């Protein structure tokens, strides 16, 4: 019987850390294949990946589709996957020893539809912002962007969207949202849900998936140990372009998922605030 886990990684001008990720991922037990969806890399990197895939039968390279975005690339990998379980892993994440087997055991211990994530650390060992989060709603985005949690620190409706500074739980617990840097899910459940929403080009697709799992009656789960190191900021894609796609995805997410729950004017207000933050950050990069 072949190992039950297929790792799916999307790479776009990731840099040398990609090969560190591959080494740590392929060293995992219970991993039958690593499907690397190449959305774009320099020719020397691509040639090295191709050579690796020819020598390592578990490494499968999908290339030639161009930069189709993260969600579409994940779905391409999922369709090719032979494993019973899918582990979506960022190309700059370093897996600790045996974490794949622990994710598998944790997932098998839970019945029904669920999406499992892990605690994500920065390179220095501190838990990464966004490792565990509240549900993203127009209101939580409004609070986060305008930093209302600073003005009203004890108000229950002004809690931070990001929970990485909260005490670390002792065991796996339900969580409104996890980081898309690592997501573990049964393939059949992922495909039945329709995979990731390909309307998102970059960012927010993970939050959308968390919301859809819960609205379908499932659970999002957070496994605190062992933790995964996410190097971060390794892509050579321009930061302003990445932020533009992220902001666009936020606005799409709000109107897609909350049009019947929030007044239209508030959705437009939040969208305006989010876009304002994008332009402020873009100007800072330009002149600072």
- Report whether pLDDT(152) > 80: yes
Nearest to residue 201, comparing CAs of 152, 243, 168, 263? 243
CATH topology for the 5-129+166-236 domain = Spore Coat Polysaccharide Biosynthesis Protein SpsA; Chain A (3.90.550)
pLDDT at 160: 84
Angle, helices 239-258/138-145, rounded to nearest 10 degrees: 140
Burial of 26 (0-12, 13-18, 19+ CB in 10 A): middle
Element (H, E) at 258: helix 239-258
- Owner of token pair 């969580």: 175
Q: Which two tokens stand for residue 258?
A: 């909350």
Answer whether 0.85 is exceeded by the pTM: yes
Percent of the chain clearing pLDDT 70 (strictly above):
99
DSSP category for residue 208:
H
Q: Which two tokens stand for residue 130?
A: 């966004």
For 234-283, the pLDDT digits (tens) are: 677 788 899 999 999 999 999 999 999 999 999 999 999 999 999 998 88
């Amino acid at each position: 019987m072949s190992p039950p886990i297929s790792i799916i990684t999307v790479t776009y001008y990731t840099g040398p850390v990609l090969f560190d990720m591959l080494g740590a991922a392929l060293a995992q037990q219970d991993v039958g294949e690593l499907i690397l969806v190449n959305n774009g890399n320099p020719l020397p990197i691509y040639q090295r990946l191709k050579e690796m895939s020819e020598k390592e039968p578990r490494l499968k390279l999908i290339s030639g589709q161009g930069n189709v975005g993260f969600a579409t690339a994940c779905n391409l990998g999922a369709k090719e996957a032979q494993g019973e379980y899918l582990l979506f892993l960022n190309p700059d994440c370093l897996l600790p020893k045996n974490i794949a087997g622990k994710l598998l055991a944790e997932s098998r211990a839970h019945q029904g539809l669920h999406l499992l994530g892990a605690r994500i650390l920065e390179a220095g060992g501190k838990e990464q912002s966004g490792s565990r989060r509240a549900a993203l709603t127009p209101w939580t985005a409004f609070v986060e962007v305008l930093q209302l949690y600073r003005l009203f620190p004890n108000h229950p409706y002004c809690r931070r969207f990001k929970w990485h500074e909260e005490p670390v739980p002792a065991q796996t617990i339900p969580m409104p949202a996890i980081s898309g840097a690592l997501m573990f899910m049964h393939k059949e459940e992922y495909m039945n849900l329709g995979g990731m929403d390909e309307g998102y080009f970059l960012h927010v697709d993970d939050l959308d998936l968390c919301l859809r799992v819960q609205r379908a009656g499932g659970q999002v789960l957070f496994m605190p140990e062992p933790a995964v190191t996410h190097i971060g900021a390794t892509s050579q894609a321009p930061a302003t372009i990445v932020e533009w796609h992220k902001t666009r995805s936020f606005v799409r997410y709000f109107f897609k998922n909350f049009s019947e729950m929030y007044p239209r004017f508030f959705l437009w207000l939040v969208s305006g605030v989010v876009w304002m933050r994008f332009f402020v950050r873009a100007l800072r990069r330009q002149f600072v």
